[in-house]
Structure 1
Amino acid sequence: MNNNYINEITNRRSIYNLGKNVSLTQDELVDIIEEAIRQSPSAFNSQSVRAIILFDKAHDEFWEGTLDILHGEVPNETAFENTKNKVEGSFKSGVGTVLFFTDEKIIDKLKNDFPIFSDNIDMFGEHALGIANANVWTALASAGVGASLQHYNPIVDKFVQDHFDVPANWTLKSQMPFGSIEAPADGKDFMTDEDRFRVIK
């Protein structure tokens, strides 16, 4: 298949060996991330996705704060050392992190404005978030920047809200550390098409 978009999403992988050897400037990275979110669709064009982009000291503080919290959550020191190695070697070692949020005021307004869909509005918000996650991830990959998608929420929610002065109506949903690709992703296996797809005519 010769399809540029398929080629782009095929190139997007979870990169766990991140570094700081990125040729793009921080402003260029911000432009890519913001435009990818801006162009991502959402139900009723609600634009419910919010993002905070961390670099330098703020990036380090997020992962150091996450480790401090995890130290109190893991069962023993051996488990914590494994967690610490992963956080420091795969996430903090990158050049930045995108924190993704959902604006709950937007979600609540949609429930009020479209009561017939109210039971599914939260799901619609998750759809918007997932699309934005994938678009940012793919846009970074297209620029030669590696990333992965992490979910240390909700255990870091209060820390993030307090430390970065996040509005109370923003709910943390995911974290995307990004940086130079210091080692490629492992191979990827796929389940059989017969188990996954149906074509009905």
Structure 2
Amino acid sequence: MSKEFLTAVADRRTFYGISKEAVVSDDRIKEIIEHAVKHTPSAFNSQSTRIVLLLGNHHDRLWDITKEALRKVVPAERFSSTEEKINSFKSGYGTILFFEDNSIIESLQQQFASYKDNFPIWSQQSNGMHQFVIWTALEAEGFGASLQHYNELIETDVKKEWSIADNWKLIAQMPFGKPTSQPGEKQFNTLEERIKIFG
């Protein structure tokens, strides 16, 4: 990785302007995902997060599916701005789909009944960590990315298109590509109102 960890964390931003130009090899993208999936923590070491990497025509197809799903629910007079937004994601190099394997969560609920209400929460927390690790690692390599949530609209079609197991629940979509524009300055609330330290 070309940046120190905390620098990469600070530099990670939401990029909407992205292109299909390659920044690193597909093998390097695969290495980043494999490293994140292997080393990101999960409650009870459940390892329930699942990742699907879409490149090339598969990436384009995802955003075509999303556009058509939105066309059914967005009024025609407002659809042009929606289409523009979806096309900005399609303009990227690839998309990472984040899932959770519900069969693992359900199994843990049965094994540890006293924690059953917590396992779905803990799985979401672990999925969020996977998202952050991959997002930050992609940024460190020179990609820009954003996190999207069209889950309910596209999950059935996504599972059908790529033969995804029924027990995988779609959590988020991360389109990424070479940045073509920079995000605005980030605003921060004061740390004093967000952190308390004792001792």
Is residue 33–residue 140 contact of structure 1 (8 Å, CA) maintained in 2? no
1:15 CA displacement: 0.7
Superposed, 1:1-201 pairs within 5 Å as 4-74=4-74, 76-89=75-88, 91-201=89-199
Query: C-alpha separation between the residues in 1 aligned to 2:180 and 2:57?
Result: 21
Q: Which runs of 5+ in 1 are unaligned?
A: none
Is residue 37–residue 135 contact of structure 1 (8 Å, CA) maintained in 2? no
Query: C-alpha separation between the residues in 1 aligned to 2:110 and 2:137?
Result: 34
Letter in 2 for 1:44: F
How big is each residue's C-alpha offset from its partner over 1:46-102, in whole Å with a ceiling of 9 and x where there is no partner?
A: 11000110011111111001000000111x22321101101102x100010001000
TM-score by length of 1: 0.94
Structure 1 residue matching 2:123: 3-state secondary structure: helix
Query: C-alpha separation between the residues in 1 aligned to 2:121 and 2:52?
Result: 22
How big is each residue's C-alpha offset from its partner over 1:16-68, in whole Å with a ceiling of 9 and x where there is no partner?
A: 10101223122221121221222111001111000110011111111001000
Is residue 95–residue 176 contact of structure 2 (8 Å, CA) maintained in 1? yes
TM-score by length of 2: 0.95
The count of corresponding residues between Structure 1 and Structure 2 is 197
Structure 1 residue matching 2:37: 3-state secondary structure: helix
Structure 1 residue matching 2:118: 3-state secondary structure: helix
Structure 1 residue matching 2:83: 3-state secondary structure: helix
Query: C-alpha separation between the residues in 2 aligned to 1:23 and 1:134?
Result: 19
State which drifts further: 26-35 or 78-87.
26-35
Q: Which runs of 5+ in 2 are unaligned?
A: none
Structure 1 residue matching 2:51: 3-state secondary structure: strand
**What is the root-mean-square deviation of aligned Cα atoms in Å?**
1.3
Structure 2 residue matching 1:155: 3-state secondary structure: helix
Is residue 23–residue 143 contact of structure 2 (8 Å, CA) maintained in 1? no
Query: C-alpha separation between the residues in 2 aligned to 1:182 and 1:35?
Result: 27
Query: C-alpha separation between the residues in 2 aligned to 1:135 and 1:145?
Result: 13
Is residue 37–residue 49 contact of structure 1 (8 Å, CA) maintained in 2? yes
1:5 CA displacement: 2.3
Instruction: State the 4+ residue runs in structure 1 displaced beyond 4 angstroms.
Output: none
1:182 CA displacement: 1.1
Equivalent pairs: percent with the same residue? 37
Query: C-alpha separation between the residues in 2 aligned to 1:65 and 1:186?
Result: 30
Structure 2 residue matching 1:156: 3-state secondary structure: helix
